[in-house]
């Protein structure tokens, strides 16, 4: 009976592959007669087995029927993410922890693999036949993209020889630089939106409902791991990659290294090679090669102890500033922006970068026409590093600081001690109103699906929205007459707005966009005051009782709720049906090591946002403070920790890293 099941799996896998070749790629690999012979054999064996036949069996379908759109697929073994390192010292710490855990005389060998900037995929095989493929998702389950994965280069549809009966192979789907350029050219010619970078293009291409679109996008794949069945298949990472390569999986160039000096040298070699590669990499992954040693080292939270990604520093590129313009934010801050000749930086076409404020503009002395060095800070946010034209003759004069708002012509002011200049126009300034609306409906605010930036701007420009309350009083009949706003889109938007009228107090406070009040502070306020009425009635003394609230935040809250216009807007929202609900008070685990501790967070983190970390730490019973003092128990330091780390070390405060933070936090 086992042999019959195995043959059925083989035939189903083969026939699904042939259906894909014929109906999607229009490139059949066997004749109709050969196909019919395989199909008849499958039908006979299914009848002989006597078990219910699944709906997706080739004997039950006609042509190539795609699976339901992105159904969830649970991974047999969870897909962990990697911890990141940004310095040699962090790599030294990574190695030191291994020596502490493993026996002193253990020989530890590391394997180095380039870190591809793509989309992690888990491919599940039974009896050597591809059954399904799923995205990483939350690490426990992902989206089924089986039909689309068949067109990705570097992935065999069937495996030969001695492979586990049930087998998960993991790797990265990516788009080469050449394919990315070709795709964006086609998008431009068709008048469609271009992709920001190859990773986004790969992710968008893999999630197409029409598999033929994915097939035309020329995606590729590198295998780097296994899940279920992997331990029985190989004894080391190097052996695993060799075996996967022989099965037809694409694998990367790797190296076996014995110590940290070899790792540092290898890192430098690949950092220099990075620009010449035909695909994007953003670092090197170092793994303990031996699987038994990996098991002994284990994992913390979402990441294995035996692997780490040593990220490359931000790639720097030269370009030219074509103009310097001024941008108005939701709180009225006016920011200088460098508009530049588009340049490819770490896989993204960059044409704009903030210059932050007038002091920074003057310090860097960036002017129109300058040659500048730009990078993406953390490979995310574009920034101008420096001007290369300083000291050159015939430079244009420095950019003038506006005395009136570039959008509404209201006067510009600069408060004492502040670097920022501000528009005094308030909500009479359409730029501020647009940004407030975007913030109000954002995921962490009212979370209104389908209410994007372009719609918010159009509603303000056309006079449909004059305050944030108007979001709940839209004239949908008139909006439906706009180009691109069909019946289905309007119906969905209307339902989304209606469904979000009930909101918890913390999200409501955050959505109001009160100056200096972020998510963590909004959560603290909600947990302390419980109701909106109590918050509005709070005195400065009441507000200052909260750890997260200092003089500046307290003054901002008092000013906001004392403003008659703001009170009118709040009352109007309630008239339109908005209901503010109490936040659920989280249960505090008094036995948790952070319960009652005063904690400060500084620096940047790769796997969690600081605001989210603050909220979760507070839920664990920690007191999250903004500054290091003699009362601080723990400093959690991320990348570029700066002065707070120095002060903590001077005061003898316990300092921990992101890995320890994630180990403390509940799964999110």
Same domain, 246 and 122: yes
Same domain, 403 and 523: no
Task: Tally the domains of the chain.
Answer: 6
Same domain, 146 and 203: yes
> Which amino acids are annotated catalytic?
115
Same domain, 210 and 296: yes
- Position 432 in a domain: yes
Q: What is the pLDDT of residue 135?
A: 87
Same domain, 188 and 271: yes
Average pLDDT over residues 432-450: 90
Among residues 311, 336, 368, which one ends one of the domains? 311
Tell if the pTM clears 0.75, that is, is over it.
no
Among residues 380, 413, 446, which one ends one of the domains? 413
Domain extent at residue 470: 426-500
How many Å apart are CA 624 and CA 665, to the nearest integer?
A: 14
Among residues 371, 387, 413, which one ends one of the domains? 413
Average pLDDT over residues 149-171: 91
User: Helix/strand/coil (H, E, C) string of 514-572?
Assistant: CCCCCHHHHHHHHHHHCCHHHHHCCCHHHHCCCCCCCHHHHHHHHHHHHCHHHHHHHHH
- Position 77 in a domain: no
How many Å apart are CA 115 and CA 312, to the nearest integer?
A: 10
| CATH label of the domain that carries residue 515 | 1.10.150.20
User: Helix/strand/coil (H, E, C) string of 438-457?
Assistant: HHHCCCCCCCCCCCCHHHHH
| CATH label of the domain that carries residue 388 | 2.40.50.140
Stated as kind and residue range, the H or E segment containing 360 is: helix 358-364
Other CB atoms within 10 A of residue 12 CB: 25
Q: What is the pLDDT of residue 576?
A: 95
Average pLDDT over residues 617-628: 80
- Position 78 in a domain: no
The DSSP bridge partners found for residue 83 are 308
Mean pLDDT of all residues in the chain?
A: 85
Same domain, 441 and 485: yes
Same domain, 168 and 290: yes
Of 219 and 617, the one with more pLDDT: 219
- Position 17 in a domain: yes
Same domain, 524 and 489: no
- Position 71 in a domain: no
| 399-424 pLDDT, tens digit each | 999 999 998 888 888 877 777 898 88
Same domain, 90 and 212: yes
| 306-358 pLDDT, tens digit each | 999 998 887 788 999 999 999 998 888 999 999 999 988 876 788 999 898 89
| CATH label of the domain that carries residue 634 | 3.40.50.10190
Same domain, 302 and 346: no
- Position 586 in a domain: no
Of 428 and 316, the one with more pLDDT: 316
| 199-221 pLDDT, tens digit each | 888 888 887 877 788 888 889 99
- Position 589 in a domain: no
Same domain, 263 and 142: yes
Other CB atoms within 10 A of residue 234 CB: 16
Please name the residues in contact with 170: beta carbons below 8 A apart, sequence gap of 6 or more: 79, 120, 121, 122, 123, 223, 224, 225, 226, 227
- Position 29 in a domain: yes
Same domain, 295 and 354: no
Residue 380: which pLDDT band, with cuts at 50, 70 and 90? low
| CATH label of the domain that carries residue 199 | 3.30.470.30
The DSSP bridge partners found for residue 236 are 290
Q: What is the pLDDT of residue 66?
A: 42
Q: Is the pLDDT of residue 104 over 80?
A: no
Q: Is the pLDDT of residue 227 over 60?
A: yes
């Amino acid at each position: 009976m086992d042999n019959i099941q195995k043959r059925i799996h083989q035939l189903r896998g083969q026939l699904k592959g042939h259906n894909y070749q014929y109906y999607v790629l229009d490139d059949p690999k066997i004749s109709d007669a050969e196909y019919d012979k395989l199909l008849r054999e499958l039908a006979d064996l299914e009848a002989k087995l006597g078990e219910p036949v699944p709906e997706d069996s080739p004997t039950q379908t006609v042509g190539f029927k795609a699976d339901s759109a992105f159904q969830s697929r649970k991974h047999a073994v969870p897909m962990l993410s990697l911890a990141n390192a940004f310095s040699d010292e962090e790599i030294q710490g990574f190695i030191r922890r291994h020596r502490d855990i493993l026996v002193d005389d253990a020989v530890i060998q590391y394997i180095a693999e380039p870190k591809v900037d793509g989309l992690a995929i888990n491919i599940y095989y039974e009896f050597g036949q591809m059954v399904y493929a799923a995205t990483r998702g939350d690490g426990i389950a992902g989206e089924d993209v089986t039909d689309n994965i068949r067109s990705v280069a570097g992935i065999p549809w069937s495996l030969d020889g001695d492979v586990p009966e049930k087998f998960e192979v993991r790797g990265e789907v990516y788009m080469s630089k050449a394919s990315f350029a070709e795709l964006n050219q086609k998008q431009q010619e068709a008048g469609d939106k271009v992709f920001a970078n190859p990773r986004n293009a790969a992710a968008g291409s893999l999630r197409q409902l029409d598999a033929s679109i994915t097939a035309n996008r020329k995606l590729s794949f590198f295998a780097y791991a296994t899940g279920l069945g992997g331990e029985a298949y190989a004894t080391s990472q190097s052996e695993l990659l060799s075996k996967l390569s022989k099965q037809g999986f694409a694998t990367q160039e790797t190296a076996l290294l014995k110590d940290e000096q070899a790792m540092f040298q290898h890192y430098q070699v690949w950092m220099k090679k990075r620009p010449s590669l035909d695909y994007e990499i953003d670092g090197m992954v170092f793994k303990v090669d031996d699987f038994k040693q990996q098991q002994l080292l284990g994992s913390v939270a979402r990441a294995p102890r035996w692997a780490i990604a040593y990220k490359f520093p931000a790639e720097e590129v030269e370009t030219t500033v074509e103009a310097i313009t001024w941008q108005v934010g939701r709180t009225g801050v006016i920011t200088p922006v460098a508009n530049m000749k588009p340049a490819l930086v770490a896989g993204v076409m960059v044409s704009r970068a903030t210059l932050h404020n007038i002091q920074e503009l003057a310090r860097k002395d960036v002017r129109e026409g300058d040659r500048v060095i730009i990078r993406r800070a953390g490979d995310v946010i574009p920034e101008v590093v420096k001007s290369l034209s300083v000291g050159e003759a015939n430079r244009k004069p420095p950019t003038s600081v506006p005395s009136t708002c570039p959008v509404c012509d209201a006067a510009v002011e600069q408060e004492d001690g502040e670097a920022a200049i501000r528009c005094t126009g308030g909500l009479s300034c359409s730029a501020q109103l647009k940004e407030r609306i975007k913030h109000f409906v954002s995921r962490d605010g009212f979370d209104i699906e389908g209410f994007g930036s372009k719609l918010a701007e159009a509603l303000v420009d056309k006079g449909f929205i004059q305050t944030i309350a108007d979001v709940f009083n839209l004239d949908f009949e008139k909006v439906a007459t706009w180009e691109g706003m069909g019946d289905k889109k309007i119906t969905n938007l209307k339902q989304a707005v209606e469904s979000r009228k009930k909101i918890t107090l913390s999200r409501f406070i955050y959505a109001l966009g009160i100056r200096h009040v972020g998510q963590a502070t909004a959560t603290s306020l909600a947990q302390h005051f419980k109701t909106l009425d109590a918050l509005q009635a709070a005195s400065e003394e009441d507000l200052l009782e909260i750890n997260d609230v200092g003089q500046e935040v307290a003054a901002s809250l008092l000013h906001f709720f004392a403003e008659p216009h703001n009170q009118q807007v709040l009352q109007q929202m309630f008239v339109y049906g908005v209901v503010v609900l109490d936040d659920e008070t989280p249960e505090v685990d008094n036995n948790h090591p952070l319960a009652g501790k005063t904690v400060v967070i500084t620096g940047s983190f790769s796997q969690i946002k600081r605001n989210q970390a603050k909220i979760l730490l507070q839920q664990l019973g920690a007191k999250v403070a903004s500054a290091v003092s003699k009362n601080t128990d723990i400093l959690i330091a991320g990348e570029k920790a700066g002065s707070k780390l120095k002060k903590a070390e001077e005061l003898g405060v316990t300092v921990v890293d992101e890995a320890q933070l994630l180990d403390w936090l509940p799964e999110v």
